[in-house]
Amino acid sequence: MSGEMDLKLEALSKYIVTSPSWVRSLALILLLSGCVEIMSILGNGESFTNPNLFPIAVYLIPALAALAFTPGLARRFGGKLDYGWSGLTAALGLIISLFVSLSPILLFRFSFPLFFAISLALVFAFRMLLLAAVVDFHLRNVVVPAFLHSGIAILGAAPFLGLWFVQVSILLHISFAVGVYVFIIVVERPMKANFKVGPLELVNAFLLHLSEGSHKLDDFFRSIGESVVVPQVSLVLQREGNEEIFVTIPNVHPGPLGEIGGSNLPKILHGQIGGAALVFHGSASHDFNPVDETEVKKVGAAVLASRPESCTSTLCTKAGRYRHGSVDVMAQAFGDTVIAVATRSPLVTEDLDFAMGFSIMKAGEKQFRHVGFIDAHNCMDTLADGVYSGTALGMEYLAAAEDAFSGTAHQEQVPFMAGYAHQTLPWSRTDGFGDLGVQVLVITAGGQKTAYVLFDGNNMHTGARDEIRRRLLSLVDECEIMTTDTHVVNTISGRNQVGLKVPVNAFYPHVERAVREAIADSAPACSAGATTWCRDVVVFGSQRISQIASTVNAMIGFLVPVAIIIVVGAFLTTAMAYFLLVY
């Protein structure tokens, strides 16, 4: 996962809020209303057996009604709101009402009716904005559900505060409704100008994805996407009396998150290829996210179309390690095909940009017909930047890979055996493990056993790769630990790496079992490589995530000034309208 893109997504995550349980919101409503009632009784010298009805009528009952009936009203207008969000909006509305209506009493003794009317208008405006984001970005569908809380409060307060209060409240509601409409138009303009879609519409689609697994966001990504052509290298290992092993290295990125776009690319390709298929992580950042599952299946179809009909090479080299600077490359050749795995562990590293990986592949074609370059994606702590062509780090990768290709080309190739094992794991995506668990390929050549261990996850916690490798070297002579970079384990942030929530000690026994099974599964094998060009794959496109994040951050920057101007305008409009009505 590209570090720069991860940082962009991480920056946007602070704007995403999930709703608490409605029970917690209900408890908060009852607590706050109870405190106001007690203060009212004590202030008026009344007994607890004869409560003051005003706080109950204007604070408690409206908040409870908003919690209970907003979801039903939302459904009547074609939207959907769960009780968690309904409770949150009701509790926050009560807090706004209490704060705005009661705080000024300390300074303005007889100001309560005016400030209470203002507080209800603010509650209405707040609910319009929140329901527009959560339920439906079309304001006409959320006005009535948004008015529920403040409308009931106006009815409850009318017998106590009189006709003047009702008139001012209605005028304020009209002014604030117009203000919210203007506010949304102004705020949405930058994103609509750049992407033809507003932020509220995107938030609707994102929340639908979280709650229902909706793919509405895919339509947006397709609308801004661009078509690319990417190479994909595969290696087929046919074995005597055993199933075929299929290794493939896509150069598109399994992101951005959840089930959106191509986030579950490894599992989708694994299912398309079938059998003992290992889908490694190639060189690509979020710019190369497929816009939806259809584009992932295009990649799979291209790979299957290029699948070698027979394997003719019965030889391979031992695995060798080559280092340049901070970059370590393990390489092994199978006839005219080389598989190279790069890591910088224990140094944190993120995605290699496609251009960087493509340069490495072209460098390897001086010695080999098919060059499979794997980004191990196996060391992460904090989010880091990616690896790009022309940088000092990029040159280290290129030099290490060139040394590996040159050194491997001069190694003797000998008959080999291949074994495969697959272990599902008793942890979920939220624990950092994707649906495929852990897969192991073991190659035995010239007395050397080499294990390729592949976790379905998005990177590994710093130190986890090194600890697993240290332990496995008692079973094999060489090994590398890799992840697929699947983004189904990420809801918002890129930080949910293997080993972050579940320690190595907990899942290592499953890894060891898989390696032992792969060794036991080994059989004499022959190989064939293939390079296919996956054409017309629609991906996010160059710098799209950066553009979206920059636009959102720019909008956030002028939210407060615009909101202040609109609130002041709403008050002035209300004052003028009231003056005209009275005089």
Residues 328-383 have pLDDT tens digits of 999 999 999 999 999 999 998 889 999 999 999 999 999 999 999 999 999 988 76
**Least confident window among 201-205, 282-286, 317-321:** 201-205
As a whole number of angstroms, the distance between CA 143 and CA 487 comes to: 37
Share of the chain above pLDDT 90, in %: 56
In this predicted structure, the answer to whether residue 1 has a pLDDT above a threshold of 90 is no
Is the predicted pLDDT of residue 548 greater than 70, yes or no? Answer: no
- Burial code (b: 16+ CB inside 10 Å, e: under 16) for 308-338 equals eeebebbebbbbbebebebbbbbbbbbbebb
pLDDT at res. 545: 64
pLDDT at 523: 95
Residue 109 scores a pLDDT above 70: no
Residue 168 pLDDT: 87
Q: How confident is the model at residue 3 (pLDDT cuts 50, 70, 90)?
A: very low
pLDDT tier for residue 547 given thresholds of 50, 70 and 90:
low
Is 255 or 579 the better-scoring residue by pLDDT? 255
pLDDT above 70 for 169: yes
Q: If we measure between CA atoms, which residue out of 90, 171, 82, 154 comes closest to residue 120?
A: 154
Q: 66-70, 145-149, 215-219, 559-563: lowest mean pLDDT where?
A: 559-563
Q: Please state, in angstroms and as integers, the Cα–Cα distance from residue 2 to each residue in 6, 7, 253, 377, 383, following that order.
A: 6, 9, 9, 10, 9
Mean pLDDT of the chain: 86
| pLDDT reading at 289 higher than 60 | yes
Q: Is residue 543 scored above 70 in pLDDT? A: no
pTM above 0.85, yes or no: no
Once rounded to an integer, what is the mean pLDDT over residues 135-155?
Answer: 90
pLDDT in tens, 410-453: 999 999 999 999 999 999 999 999 999 999 999 999 999 999 99
Stretch among 249-263, 410-424, 470-484 having the lowest mean pLDDT: 249-263
Distance, CA of 157 to CA of 159 (rounded, Å): 6
3-class state of residue 490 by DSSP: coil
State residue 50's pLDDT score: 54
Burial class (CB in 10 A: 0-12, 13-18, 19+), 557: exposed
| pLDDT tops 50 at residue 11 | no
- Nearest 10 degrees: CA dihedral of 559, 561, 564, 570? -80
Asked if residue 252 lies in contact with residue 262, where contact means CB atoms within 8 angstroms, the answer is yes
Sequence letter at residue 398: L
**Mean pLDDT of all residues in 63-85:** 90
Domain ranges of the chain: 14-211+546-582, 226-539
Report yes or no: 524 and 444 within 8 Å, Cβ to Cβ: no
Backbone angles phi, psi at 27, to 5 degrees: -60, -40
